Amino acid sequence: MIWKEKYRIGVSMIDKQHQELFRRVEDFIVNLRSSGKWEDRQEKVKSTMEFMKEYVVVHFRAEEEYQKKINYPGLAEHQRIHAGFKEEINNFAQKFEEEGYQEDLVQSLAGKLLAWLINHVASEDQKIGSYAKSLGGDSNEG
């Protein structure tokens, strides 16, 4: 499993959403690495792409609302980072529409998803948890 406890930021709502994102990306990667015809594995690719387009919006909105609630000083930068990732996801979706679900393009998406998720949660999102803990309140609310 690619989720590790060190990714937990201490805000239960966000941690649950992160775990779901990690689970979906892991399922996606397992599907890509499985044997069988590429055509047979494309449905998982399509469903993952739809999930990512929808869920990152939901997750980012929730994460940003929590940051507003605690007056997180890095909110504007975090919003910029989120916007950049949403744009990348939409760019992949557009390429898939134009070029089809070619395996090399899908592999590129998988690498991007995994790297971004791990790096973002392990670095940027940890700052949110640290800030919430510094307030002395219950960082598990939200």
pTM for the whole thing? 0.87
pLDDT tens, N- to C-terminus, the chain (142 residues): 689 999 999 999 999 999 999 999 998 898 888 887 887 788 888 888 888 888 888 999 999 999 999 999 999 999 999 999 999 999 999 999 999 888 899 999 999 999 999 999 999 999 999 999 999 755 555 4
Q: Which amino acid, residue 53? A: K
DSSP for the chain, please give it: ----GGG--S-HHHHHHHHHHHHHHHHHHHHHHS-S-HHHHHHHHHHHHHHHHHHHHHHHHHHHHHHHHTT-TTHHHHHHHHHHHHHHHHHHHHHHHHH---HHHHHHHHHHHHHHHHHIIIIIHHHHHHHHHHTTS-TT--
Q: According to the model, what pLDDT value does residue 140 have?
A: 53
Distance between terminal CA atoms of the chain? 26
Tokens of 134: 């510094």
Q: According to the model, what pLDDT value does residue 33 have?
A: 86
Q: According to the model, what pLDDT value does residue 132 have?
A: 93
C-alpha angle 118-18-130 in degrees, rounded to nearest 5: 80
> Quick check: 65 and 82 in contact, CB under 8 A?
no
Q: What residue ranges define each of the domains in the chain, with the CATH number in brackets?
A: 11-29+41-134 (1.20.120.50)
State the sign of the Cα–Cα–Cα–Cα dihedral 127, 49, 114, 112. negative
